[in-house]
Homo-oligomer: A and B are copies of this chain.
Amino acid sequence: MQLNLTVEAVWSDVQKIRSAAPLVHNITNYVVMNNTANALLALGASPVMAHAREEVEDMVAIASALVINIGTLSSAWVETMASAMSKASAKGIPIIFDPVGAGATAYRTRTCHELMNAVAPTVIRGNASEIMALVDAAVATKGVDSSTTEKPVKALRELARQFSCAVVVSGETDLVSDGETWFRIRNGHALMPRVTGLGCTASALVGAFAAVQPEPLSAAAHAMAVMGICGEIAAAQAAGPGSLQMYFLDALYQLNEERIATTLKGC
């Protein structure tokens, strides 16, 4: 499909989030829980963090999107991630999957495969090395890559096809694909990777967008555009990563059509 990355399309989704305040259920890592909850609140969504076996399905039952992030995984949490994903799939709400550190340890890569093979996510978001680690080794390393983006693009499309979902590769330029076509999201700032968990925050925001935008590729693209726009606005005021984090939350809160119009870059 074609991606409609226009000011109107992005702003329309932001307005829908603000008026619906969708409940986004996060099972995420300890490092970023506070930041992702704050980013969801600043944007206008309603975050909840819950991981207990006894309640995880009940929480999914009242949520509009589920965000799974394996950043500080352990076996007990992986079990409830699986239950939550299964319930979300049965209920028909979008599932966002963030494979933090896939490829860094065998346990992480294996856990991602187990969770995603049981229930395919709606959107997968990771950095290039994580997304490449999730694709079969044979595919990921086939041929000689002539550019730094060729290999990620191959993995991106392959993963999207494999799980019939949208995939985002975050980086200096973000890449999004639905398996058929792929697009670049060009907003963002070099200081953003110096704040821990802005990738995790991106995944959480994809959850908010997917709660109001039924097309996964558009939800992912609009969320990444908003991340990049707010990151640029924040970086223009920031003296370093400490102030960037603060201005980023303020920018999410203050986001309006005019700011999107003056900052959004085309695909």
Distance, CA A75 to CA B55, complexed state (A): 11
- CA of A195 to CA of B47 in the docked complex: distance in angstroms? 11
CA distance in complex: A252, B194 (Å)? 11
Is B252 a contact of A247 with CB atoms below 8 Å?
Answer: no
Closest to A35 in B: B34
Say which residue of B107, B240, B248 sits within 8 Å of A252 (CB atoms).
B240
A196 to chain B, nearest CB (A): 4
- A72's contact among B50, B54, B107, by CB below 8 Å, is which? B50
Contacts A49-B72, A241-B250 supplied; 14 other A-B pairs, CB < 8 Å? A30-B33, A37-B196, A37-B197, A38-B195, A47-B196, A50-B72, A50-B101, A51-B74, A55-B105, A55-B106, A58-B104, A58-B105, A243-B246, A245-B249
- Could you jot down 16 A-B contacts, CB within 8 Å? A30-B49, A31-B33, A34-B34, A37-B196, A41-B196, A52-B72, A52-B73, A52-B74, A52-B107, A53-B74, A54-B107, A55-B105, A194-B253, A242-B245, A243-B250, A246-B246
